[in-house]
Amino acid sequence: MKVVTSAQELPSACAFVPTMGALHAGHGSLFQIASQFSENVVASIYINPLQFDDQNDLAKYPQTPEADIELAQKFGVTHLWFPTYEEIYPDGFLRLTAGPIADLYEGASRPGHFDGVVTVVRRLFDLVQPQVAIFGEKDFQQLTLVRQIADEVQIVAAPIIREEDGLAMSSRNVRLDVQGRIAARVISRALRDSSSEAQLREILATEPALTLDYADYIDEQTFMAPTETTRFTRAIVAGWINGVRLLDNMPVKSERI
């Protein structure tokens, strides 16, 4: 594996996985999927300041570069790129607006977050010029918005990878203490066991340590409430446990609606 600090050192054709580091087995699954599309698997590690509305959250974001290099190599990354701020955001760079879906759910709780996401993803795509890019379904709203600005890049959705207790893998999980980690199990249990939006919220309400932001059934295409014309419904949940924001989602089978 080659560790690089400039996009000029990257191969001309590749499958690409953008990350913010603190890599775990969930990222590893994305790298393995990328290897199915190209012999060149490029991963980037860049903590994007534009997508943090809370500077304290930015400051607390875990940074583990040595462990990241080890994990990336283990899961088949051929080029690991640590870009600089100046390379990503030169003078006069174009800031994008993510559109109306970006104002819902995560966007409502984190104003400007998705504008920062699509801006950095567009910049990364322009620099890397990948044929394929892999994004996880855990950040389902992000995945939806990235697809809207991908243009010439094929976006491949990767399934959520879960811990043995059901918790969706996330770089933020390391900030949970033992009790917080136990409490967090309620999220995947509610998604798995609920048969309606009301029941989803009822199960989540049984955990006093969880401060719920939202828990809804949505139309995957519009992010609005499902209707009789909805083809695919997804349950989405976000909330805080001990100050750590957790996201999760799960497709809803038709018999559960």
pLDDT digits 0-9 by tens, 103-112: 999 999 999 9
| Confidence check: pLDDT of 249 > 70 | yes
What CATH number does the domain containing 194 carry? Answer: 3.30.1300.10
* Residue 129 and residue 36 share a domain: yes
| Confidence check: pLDDT of 55 > 90 | no
Query: Domain range holding 210?
Result: 171-247
Last residue of a domain, one of 137, 158, 179: 158
Question: How high is the pLDDT of residue 256?
Answer: 55
Mean pLDDT in residue range 57-64: 90
What CATH number does the domain containing 151 carry? Answer: 3.40.50.620
* Residue 82 and residue 178 share a domain: no
* Residue 145 and residue 227 share a domain: no
Q: Which of 24, 27, 79, 113 is catalytic?
A: 27
Side by side, the strands of the sheet bearing 244-252 are 210-219, 233-241, 244-252
Give residue-wise pLDDT tens across range 20-46.
999 999 999 999 999 999 999 999 999
Give residue-wise pLDDT tens across range 161-193.
999 999 999 999 989 999 999 999 999 999 999
Question: How high is the pLDDT of residue 254?
Answer: 65
Is 27 a residue of the active site?
A: yes
Q: How many domains does the chain have?
A: 2
- Contact in structure between 133 and 15 (CB atoms under 8 Å): yes
* Higher pLDDT among residues 40 and 62, named by residue: 40
* Residue 184 and residue 61 share a domain: no
Last residue of a domain, one of 104, 125, 158: 158
pTM assigned to the model: 0.93
56 burial level (CB within 10 Å; 0-12, 13-18, 19+): exposed
